Chains A and B, each alone.
Chain A
Amino acid sequence: MERDPIYMDNQATTPVDPRVIEAMVPFLGEIYGNAASRNHAFGWAAEEAVDRGRSQIANLVGARPKEIIFTSGATESDNLAIKGVAEFYADKGNHIITAVTEHKAVLDTCQALERANLAEVTYLPVDQYGRVDVDDVKKAIRDETILISLMYANNEIGTLHPIRAIGALAKERGILFHCDATQGVGKIPVNVDEDGIDLMSMSAHKMYGPKGCGALYVRSRGPRVRLRAQMHGGGHERGMRSGTLNVAGIVGFGKACELCGQELEAEAGRLMSLRQRLYTGLTENLEEVYLNGHPTERIPGNLNLSFSYVEGESFLMGLNREIALSSGSACTSATLEPSYVLKALGVGEELAHTSIRFGLGRFNTEEDVDYVVRRVSEVVVRLREMSPLYEMAKEGIDLKSVQWKT
């Protein structure tokens, strides 16, 4: 192998930007104070760094710094938002609305609340592109509805929900709106006020920051959102999340947000043109390649394709020393089940098994894309030659009419 492997799985995680690392390094070494130590300069230095990070994050999403609650990542943020609201507002109602294509951190949290009889949850369907219908949200609202939780952008297919319309609806009906914006923040413009978001989950490692550091935006006015803490202890983060702050992580997260903000527009344009190059290259070389997700309403760096007659895992196996891609989401690839997100879109299981997620990011180049197009085309051609399904389809057999022996 002549070249370094290409990383094109940027919805799983992103490499840490060198400028972020540079900002973090002092806080892994000489600046080691506890941000909660109020009585000496060591603590003040850490606190100052945390304040700065908080502001950088708040700036990117149009929030006030004090509305940013630091967590270990988006999974914790989702847990805190959903359980925290369900528990705090229990006397107001117990009904939550979400959708079937949400991240497992939301779905599993909702199911845990249901099992504990702490909530009733409506899981809305999505259309063929993975979007919820605002009318469906409206119809699902009951007197007891306390929370709507919908993601900004889907982690597998990149599809964007009509967030602003949902935010407006939630506001109109006096219901809190939580948005898991892990895949959206830093990639597309997100503004908690304009979007009508009351709680928002974010993660540093999806935007070229470090792993193990995330945040939950919690609206402080109009309305002031309250939460029942899920992590008890010293009362850090306005009592919503105890635990000594990860100062270096927060510094990196803040820097990552600052960079995303500065580069967002240019980077979105660049990624969209790379994605178009990738899509055009692959569909020119190969027949029967299908797009999963919305053609335009998606984050710039995501392309999810089904390559008929070629099973996804064998596809990745043919490339995994040269190119990092994902089949379904990294969180579910330990199972053999095809993606629940694609199923929810109505993609047949046979096509769901052939889906591949290309996650373009800041460090991908046109040269990377051209290499991926060439190698993916080669692997697909080779595996189709080996595929009995491809052979049958070429012979004119309708695969849906076959009685399979399982």
Chain B
Amino acid sequence: MAYTERVVEHYERPRNVGSFAAEEGNVGTGVVGAPECGDVMKLQLKINPQTEVIEDAKFKTFGCGSAIASSSYVTELVKGKTVAEAGAIKNTEIVTELALPPVKIHCSVLAEDAIKAAVADWRDRAEGAGAPKKDAA
């Protein structure tokens, strides 16, 4: 199977690989997928609690080239967006940007799920820490 140029480019130069330090605050972590399915994505968002703007993002992915590219692209896409805007990102945006073939669409769905999971985790933590409750994105 040949890969699209955009996928290869993200695979070879993935953006924002890594993890935030465990003690760092205002971080939401989403882990989606399963090893037996061949895809696990971990997406972390660092979110400003006042403005709800995503100030930084990091990922680690176990999966095919398209899964790696999808998560790499998502870290670029969400930076600077508010939590609500990021939550509205649809997988089709990722499919279009990376020109994913039909068999790889699940990678984009997983990346969309990762954003939602990371945001939900951030909200849970913020509420746990006694922050004012916000409407879910």
Contacts and interface: CB of A to CB of B under 8 A. Distances in A.
A311 B117 contact: no
A317 B117 contact: no
Interface residues of A, number: 26
Contacts of B32: 405-406
Given A314-B65, A406-B34, A388 B3 contact: no
Interface of B: 1, 3, 8, 11, 14, 17, 19, 31-42, 60-65, 67-68, 103, 113, 117
A24 B36 CA distance: 47
Given A317-B11, A334-B1, A406-B37, A388 B64 contact: no
22 contacts: A309-B62, A311-B67, A313-B38, A314-B63, A314-B67, A317-B3, A333-B1, A334-B1, A336-B103, A338-B38, A350-B36, A353-B38, A386-B14, A386-B68, A388-B42, A389-B62, A391-B19, A404-B34, A404-B40, A405-B33, A405-B113, A406-B37
Given A314-B65, A405-B117, 20 more contacts: A310-B62, A311-B38, A311-B39, A314-B68, A317-B3, A317-B65, A336-B38, A349-B36, A350-B36, A353-B35, A353-B36, A388-B60, A389-B35, A389-B40, A390-B62, A399-B35, A405-B32, A405-B33, A406-B32, A406-B33
B58 to A, nearest CB: 11
B31 A388 contact: yes
A348 interface: yes
Nearest to A351: B35
Contacts of B41: 388
Contacts of A349: 35-38
Contact of B61 (A333, A353, A386): A386
A405 B39 CA distance: 11
Interface of A: 309-311, 313-314, 317-318, 333-334, 336, 338, 348-350, 353, 385-391, 399, 404-406
A383 B103 CA distance: 22
A313 B2 CA distance: 12
Contacts of B42: 388, 391
A80 B13 CA distance: 50
Contacts of A406: 32-34, 37
B34 A311 contact: no
Nearest to A395: B22
Nearest to A320: B3
Contacts of A350: 35-36
Most buried by A among B11, B35, B40: B35
A404 B62 contact: no
A318 B113 CA distance: 26
A387 to B, nearest CB: 5
Contacts of A313: 38, 64-65
A317 B60 CA distance: 17
A131 B35 CA distance: 27
A388 B37 contact: no
B64 A317 contact: yes
Given A311-B63, A317-B65, A405 B36 contact: no
A334 B31 CA distance: 27
A388 B40 contact: yes
A361 to B, nearest CB: 23
A310 B33 CA distance: 14
